[in-house]
Amino acid sequence: MTTDIATAQSTNDMSDATDGVNTEGEGTQFLTFILDNEAYGVEILRVQEIKGWTPVTRIPNTPEYMQGVLNLRGTIVPIVDMRMRFNLEQIEYTPITVIIVLSVKSENGERVIGLVVDSVSDVIDVSAKNIKATPDFGTTLNTEFISGLATSTEHMVMLLDVDKLLSVDEMTALSQASDLQADSDSSE
Amino acid sequence: MTIDMSQFLETFYEESFEGLEIMETELLALDVGEADSETINTIFRAAHSIKGGSGTFGLNAVADFTHVMETLLDEMRDGKRQVTEEAVNLLLTTVDVLREMLTALRENTELDSERIKVTHDQLEELLDSSSSSSTVQETDNSSKDVPAGAQSWHISFHPHVNLFKTGNDPVRILRELETLGELEVKMDSSALPEFNNLDPEESFLGWELELKGEATREAIDEVFAWVEDECDLTIMAAEAEAEVIHAEAEPEPEPEERSQTEGRSTASTQSRKPKAAAESTSIRVGIDKVDSVINLVGELVITQSMLSTLGESFDMSKVNSLIQGMEQLELNTRQLQEQVMRMRMMPINFAFQRFPRLVHDMSQKMGKNIELKMTGEQTELDKTVMEKIGDPLVHLVRNSLDHGIESPEKRKEAGKPETATLRLNAYHQGGNIVIEVIDDGAGLNEEKIFAKAVEQGLVPADIQLEPARIHELILLPGFSTADEVTDVSGRGVGMDVVVRNIRSLGGSLEVWSKPGHGSKFTIRLPLTLAILDGQTVSVGEEDYIIPLISIIESIQLTSDMLNIVVGKGETFKLRNEHLPIIRLHNVFGGSPNTTDLIEGLLVVVESDGRKIGLFVDELKGQQQVVIKSLEVNYKRIEGISGATILGDGSVALIVDIPGLISLSNQVTATGRLKKSA
């Protein structure tokens, strides 16, 4: 788990984290957002922009949490609904529903992806030593995408590993499952 | 002394390949028997530029090789040698070898020294065979390693008095010269003043040098590069013949500093007709194109300022001028877009220019008389498209030469002229470029094709096919009619690859053939990959773009056209053809306004020579759309070739017809593809 914590740090902090030496105050900044009354955090350096919800163009035959694509100043950006992604109860999009546009690293370079969340709340400073390993949530939540837990003043923030969460493999796994199903059926 | 030459190396390669192309084209244009001196001159200059360049970059193998070639060309130019077919063929081989050498050097791979030596020897032999070439005999007996410039040079080197002040030392220059060959030095001290008047910081000595050995002129020039301006220098080859060559193409030795930039520009003015690089990452854009873009931008600015003036004090009385202004703006933007696109355009000549050679070689190899006629070489198309269309075109041409065109005897029997004609035509049609490969050969043998297709299990034997359908069989994977596999074609890895390549460019291939009259292959390609003519269709709330090139027509069904085959899906009858229907909403999901086939519209599209009806709610406008990739940020979606941004800023998906059909087959097999939760 410690290595996971390290990856959650921005690169300049990484050496500190791996060395186990942490200076107070020198933390990583996270943008926190709310999803079904829970706070989640993404590394702020990954955030490109935050914009209000606008209708998207649906892409056929993709997982349901894949809301569609959006025109972001000429770039086609896929939009992922985080409630659906985490199998949370769905709610209507409201004026405070926001899209956090993130840049995600993958083998093929950087990709830009938008996350639909309930609302954006804060920016917090977290030093590496204040990041706790993820406890086992049981089956309700897949902890694979959570790189650690941070406690801010009031509540606990789940820090997301966006690269893992939004990797193409991850996002296509489900649709491929249905494709396979289709293939095996058609071959019969 | 050492400058980092590697930065110019890439340019040298590019220019050399261009030079080789010029040589090839001109060689093929050369009439055997009567030498057109202008043509020979062009070839000669191209060869000379390569020789000069390679010498400068220390690519001696190339320089040596080119030198022999140059000698041969020089004799032709001076009329000392007849232009024979043998010589032309050898020169063509030489061009090939040179190209291989340069490619090998560029990619740092091993040179095929065996082949180089063989060709080199052949050249030497040809040179030897003529008694008139006595002046260049010395190159003939030299071995492969020391051919070029194997001669002696007379160098007269008289530095100016201020040579030392520029930081140069004649001794170093002499030492450097010594490395080039056997050096005989005679000092000329006549300018030396009396000891009292001697200023030790000034130079008074001069040298007369004899350099023997394999040094090239370029190598010597390089030694003197830095002192060029500070001395009186004459470099003369001891042989008059060699001097003539240099005097003509390179009248004065140029200082290295200048020749770096100028040497290239001379290369371009001397040897290059206005042609751009064939395959490189850069494009040369004609200044006229740039100018027209600048003009258009100027107009755009004027329109913009007109509109903003209008906006400052706008009232309803000015609505008309506003509308006019907007029209102007639209016109400007469209023109600007077209012009910018044109910058990426190159004449199709670049794809065509390899064919004279190909036809020349193959007609010789196969003993057929073939005349190649090309039209529309100046037709422009996108550079990316051009790069990808080359191979399919070669394939089509080879097929025509090998399968299509008969032997002279057979042609005579059939009452046709013995010389067959192969035509390559290119022209623009709508937003497409059309390339035709036409031969007047035997045409496709329909019976044989059908029999082969049955034999290969591609079609059932009891089926009745129209000739046009039979022709399309040759486009199927694994199809080959050749009874024997030749090295030219007939391996059956052919037409389907061609079709796939063309289709991947968003184009199409049509086959036409008439037994005894020949065949015609028509390639239709979009002018550019970045923009597509699209038809917007809607399904419920959603809009999709269908490429106009795949649309045949759009119809409204009537109930008597419909034919529902239980378990097989829906079909409709269109002028004696029964075509399957694909409901777009079945494949892509979404909630259509109507599921009644008679209420909605059917867009008849064609893909792989198969027509299908695509059921949509309604048609919207036609427009040019800019293609955006979905893969950049997400992944490839089956049935979707990309996305585009509509006028209102929303995203519409572009339908990929072949993908859609295969997706639809999966859907019909499994029922509706469920969205995974």
Q: Can you give the pLDDT at residue A16?
A: 38
CATH code of the domain in which B630 resides: 2.40.50.180
CB atoms within 10 A of CB B660: 27
Q: Can you give the pLDDT at residue A79?
A: 92
Domain match, B457 and B354 both? yes
Cα–Cα distance for residue pair A118/A139, rounded to 1 Å: 23
CA distance B675 to chain A (A): 6
A-B CB pairs within 8 A amount to: 100
Task: Report the residue of A48, A58, A61, A64 to disrupt the B interface, i.e. the one with the largest count of B CBs within 10 Å.
Answer: A61
Cβ-based contacts of A76 with chain B (< 8 Å): 628-630, 632-634, 643, 645, 651
Please check the confidence at residue B171 and state whether its pLDDT lies above 60.
Answer: yes
Residues contacting residue B330 through CB under 8 Å, at least 6 positions apart: none
| Confidence bin at A136 (pLDDT 50/70/90) | low
Domain match, B300 and B408 both? no
Averaged pLDDT, B288-300: 89
Q: Provide the greatest CA pair distance for chain B.
A: 120
Cα–Cα distance for residue pair A152/B536, rounded to 1 Å: 51
Cβ-based contacts of B634 with chain A (< 8 Å): 59, 69, 76, 78, 111, 113, 168, 171
CA distance A23 to chain B (A): 37
Kind plus residue range of the DSSP H or E element containing B327: helix B319-343
Q: Can you give the pLDDT at residue B483?
A: 54
Residue A8 and residue A43 in contact, taking contact as beta carbons nearer than 8 Å = yes
**Which among B92, B111, B140 is the end of a domain?**
B140
Helices (H) and strands (E) in chain A, counts: 5, 11
**Domain range list for chain A:** 2-166
Residue A168 and residue A107 in contact, taking contact as beta carbons nearer than 8 Å = no
| Confidence bin at A170 (pLDDT 50/70/90) | low
CATH code of the domain in which B219 resides: 3.30.70
**Which among B95, B110, B140 is the end of a domain?**
B140
Cβ-based contacts of A56 with chain B (< 8 Å): 651
Domain match, B487 and B356 both? yes
pTM: 0.49
Q: How far apart are the first and last CA of chain A?
A: 45
Q: What percent of chain B has pLDDT over 90?
A: 3
A48/B contact by beta carbon, under 8 A: no
Flag whether the ipTM exceeds 0.90. no
Q: Can you give the pLDDT at residue A9?
A: 40
Domain match, B363 and B500 both? yes
User: Among A59, A113, A182, whose Cβ lies nearest the Cβ of B670?
Assistant: A182
Residue A66 and residue A171 in contact, taking contact as beta carbons nearer than 8 Å = yes
Kind plus residue range of the DSSP H or E element containing B96: helix B85-106
Q: Can you give the pLDDT at residue B268?
A: 38
**How many Cα neighbours within 13 Å face the side chain of A69?**
32
User: B85-106 vs B6-29: helix axis angle to the nearest 10?
Assistant: 160
Please name the residue ranges forming H helices in B505-547. Answer: none
Cβ-based contacts of A69 with chain B (< 8 Å): 630, 634, 643, 651
Domain match, B356 and B458 both? yes
Q: Can you give the pLDDT at residue B281?
A: 60
User: Among B587, B633, B676, whose Cβ lies nearest the Cβ of A175?
Assistant: B676
Residue of B nearest to A54 (CA): B650
Averaged pLDDT, B46-75: 81
Q: Can you give the pLDDT at residue B274?
A: 35
Domain match, B393 and B464 both? yes
CATH code of the domain in which B93 resides: 1.20.120.160
Averaged pLDDT, A53-61: 87
In terms of Cα–Cα distance, which of B546, B467, B466, B471 is closest to B509? B471
Amino acid found at B662: S
Tell whether domain A2-166 is in CATH 2.40.50.180: yes
Secondary structure (H, E, C), B403-426: HHCCCHHHHHHCCCCCCEEEEEEE
Cα–Cα distance for residue pair B636/A71, rounded to 1 Å: 17
A17/B contact by beta carbon, under 8 A: no
Q: What share of chain B is helix, strand, coil (3-state, %, to 5)?
A: 45, 20, 30
* One-character DSSP codes across A115-136: EEESEEEEEEEE-GGGEEPPPP
Q: What percent of chain A has pLDDT over 70?
A: 68
User: B37-56 vs B240-249: helix axis angle to the nearest 10?
Assistant: 100
Please check the confidence at residue A101 and state whether its pLDDT lies above 90.
Answer: yes
Which is it for strands A156-160 and A38-43: parallel, antiparallel or unpaired?
A: parallel
Choice among B146-160, B573-587, B641-655 with the minimum mean pLDDT: B146-160
Please check the confidence at residue B243 and state whether its pLDDT lies above 60.
Answer: no
What is the total count of domains within chain B? 5
A76/B contact by beta carbon, under 8 A: yes
Q: Can you give the pLDDT at residue B2?
A: 53
Cα–Cα distance for residue pair B115/B93, rounded to 1 Å: 10
CA angle B502–B506–B507, rounded 5-degree value: 50
CA distance B389 to chain A (A): 27
Cα–Cα distance for residue pair B663/B666, rounded to 1 Å: 5
Residue of A nearest to B639 (CA): A60
Q: Can you give the pLDDT at residue B260?
A: 41
Structure tokens at B68: 């022999």
User: Among B643, B649, B673, whose Cβ lies nearest the Cβ of A178?
Assistant: B673
Domain match, B119 and B156 both? no
Which is it for strands A38-43 and A28-35: parallel, antiparallel or unpaired?
A: antiparallel
Which is it for strands B518-526 and B508-514: parallel, antiparallel or unpaired?
A: antiparallel
Domain match, B409 and B555 both? no
A90/B contact by beta carbon, under 8 A: no
Asked if residue B264 belongs to a domain, the reply is no
A140/B contact by beta carbon, under 8 A: no
Domain match, B443 and B351 both? yes
Q: What are the tens digits of pLDDT across the range B257-279?
A: 443 443 343 333 333 333 333 34
**Which among B482, B510, B526 is the end of a domain?**
B526
A50/B contact by beta carbon, under 8 A: no
The residue ranges of DSSP E strands in B277-353, in sequence order, are 345-347
Residue range of the domain that includes B317: 287-343
